[in-house]
Amino acid sequence: MAAATASTSFHIRRSFQYNGNLQNSSPKRVKAFQSPTIITASLEARRPQNVSGEFFVDHTCIDCDTCRWMAPALLSCPTSSIHTEKPPHDILEVQKTFPIPIDEHTLLGVYHCGYHSDKSFGAASYLIVRAEGNILVDSPRYTTKLENNLKMLGGARYMFLTHSDDVADHEKWSNHLGCERILHLLEVDHSTAAVEIKLEGSGPWNLGDDVTLVHTPGHTEGSVCLLYKPHKVLFTGDHFAMGELGWTIAERYNKFSVPKQLSSVKLMLDLDFEWMLPGHGRRTKFRDVEDKNLSLRAFLETKMQLL
């Protein structure tokens, strides 16, 4: 099954090649008199950047990057923009694979939930399995299959939401799993007013001895990261990540303060972690904490020179 999954992702990546600028390759505007059926058909047609092959990507793609770093990407695409000429024969078996272990050797009990949601711009969600109660980190797209698989792993006691962008189907998950949601008060709006635990101030806050929540304002004012101490892994939400071209704080999407975000990245030098799992971007494994700090210092020095 693992081989089939990897193959699926490989074909998808090869089937969609473009210059990275969706604005330059977007479909032409549809005339007002055309019917919704025609418009939908146009959006779901192959993009011209597709190469020949079984898999293809349509015009609804939002360039969220999911399909470039994970498998099986077809199921995880938040906008269902990835298609096949004929239905995959093993699609039901692939659905059973989520959540997927990040690394069965060094991150036992940490899973990628898959099923990225367009409500959170395709952000990744994770599950931490722990004796003190499992934690969902940000919200995946709700599906009954994923719900059943999460329940087989013990469900979730908490749903930790890093910030307001990645809440997706949080209410459905709260209702179906009975988990308490955690979000910083500065991130709360009408859609998250019923969140059970609202963090106040600048923290840090603890969920037992093994989990620390760290306030990292910048991308948004109330962005918070989760440090899972037993495996030295930091869940960063949209605070900081490794992109295709190196480290990034995604200034283009900053909603609060770029200088403040860089200051929050500097705080990460004092945190003991070797893994970084972001909402958007690549998973990163450092050799050790010293390697992590060398990398972060180099990034900060470069960014400070550009400001």
What integer is the mean pLDDT of 282-292? 94
Query: Is the pLDDT at 20 greater than 80, yes or no?
Result: no
Percent of the chain predicted with pLDDT > 90: 58
Residue 88: what pLDDT? Answer: 60
Confidence of residue 169 (pLDDT cuts 50, 70, 90): very high
Q: Which two tokens stand for residue 291?
A: 């390697």
Q: Are strands 224-228 and 211-215 parallel, antiparallel or unpaired?
A: antiparallel
**Cβ(160)–Cβ(203) below 8 Å:** no
Name which of 28-37, 147-156, 196-205, 243-252 the model is least confident about: 28-37
Sign of the dihedral through C-alpha 183, 107, 263, 289: positive
**CATH code of the region 98-306:** 3.60.15.10
The number of CA neighbours under 13 Å toward the Cβ of 62 is 15
Query: Is the pLDDT at 42 greater than 90, yes or no?
Result: no
Query: Is the pLDDT at 155 greater than 70, yes or no?
Result: yes
Q: Which two tokens stand for residue 192?
A: 């998250």
Query: Is the pLDDT at 36 greater than 60, yes or no?
Result: no
Name which of 28-42, 60-74, 260-274 the model is least confident about: 28-42
pLDDT greater at residue 225 or residue 120: 225
In the block, tokens 């299959």 appear at 145
pLDDT greater at residue 133 or residue 50: 133
Q: What is the reported pTM?
A: 0.73
Q: Which residue(s) pair with 182 in the sheet?
A: 160, 197
Residues contacting 2, CB < 8 A, separation 6+:
none
Residue 51: what pLDDT? Answer: 64
What integer is the mean pLDDT of 37-56? 59
Q: Which phi and psi (to 5°) does residue 170 adopt? A: -60, -40
Residue 12: what pLDDT? Answer: 32
C-alpha angle 227-231-237 in degrees, rounded to nearest 5:
35
**How much is the mean pLDDT over the chain?**
80
Confidence of residue 217 (pLDDT cuts 50, 70, 90): very high
Residue 14: what pLDDT? Answer: 30
What integer is the mean pLDDT of 188-196? 97
Q: Write out the residue limits of the CATH 3.60.15.10 domain(s) in the chain.
A: 98-306
C-alpha angle 291-275-252 in degrees, rounded to nearest 5:
90
Give a three-class secondary structure readout of the chain.
Answer: CHHHHHHHHHHHHHHECCCCCHHHHCCCCCCCCCCHHHHHHHHCCECCCECCCCEEEECCCCCCCHHHHCCCHHHHCCCCCEEECCCCCCHHHHHCCCCEECCCCCCCCEEECCCCCHHHCCCCCEEECCCCCCEEECCCCCCHHHHHHHHHCCCCCEEECCCHHHCCCHHHHHHHHCCEEEEEHHHCCHHHCCCCEEECCCCCEECCCCEEEEECCCCCCCCEEEEEHHHCEEEEECCCEEECCEEECCHHHCCCCHHHHHHHHHHHHHCCCCEEEECCCECEECCCHHHHHHHHHHHHHHHHHHC
Q: Which two tokens stand for residue 203?
A: 């923290």
**Cβ(225)–Cβ(266) below 8 Å:** no
Q: Which two tokens stand for residue 66?
A: 């999911």
Please report, for residues 53, 105, 167, the alpha-carbon distance to residue 250 in angstroms, rounded to integers and kept in the order given: 33, 31, 19
